[in-house]
Amino acid sequence: MARSQLTFADVNLTVTVPAGTRVIEISDRIHSGIVYGCREGDCGTCLMKVVDGLENLSQPSVLEARVLKEHLAARDMRLACQAQVLSGDVTVRPA
């Protein structure tokens, strides 16, 4: 299975993850400042900035795209509970 490097800039920690891992699954465990509410792509609490590797994340679903729009999110922002790391390296930090 493909593996990726997921870095949390706010706590300066890099974790090797299997493809398909949602960012929130790791940020929760390592106590990153990326917080969450619903974990279902609805509340927008887990909004994060993708510092590097945006192209290595899954595309936003219709639901996520709607929530991003509602929160006036910049193009480099995603929901940590929805974005899956698919390949390569990704660096994120709290929004």
Shorter beta-carbon distance to ligand FES: residue 2 or 63:
63
Positions touching ligand FES (CB under 6 A) are 36-39, 41-46, 67, 79, 81
The CB-of-5 to ligand FES minimum distance in angstroms stands at: 22
The CB-of-82 to ligand FES minimum distance in angstroms stands at: 6
Shorter beta-carbon distance to ligand FES: residue 3 or 69:
69
Contacts 24+ apart (CB under 8 A), 1-6: 2/86, 2/87, 4/56, 4/85, 4/86, 4/87, 4/88, 4/89, 4/90, 5/88, 5/89, 5/90, 6/85, 6/89, 6/90, 6/91, 6/92
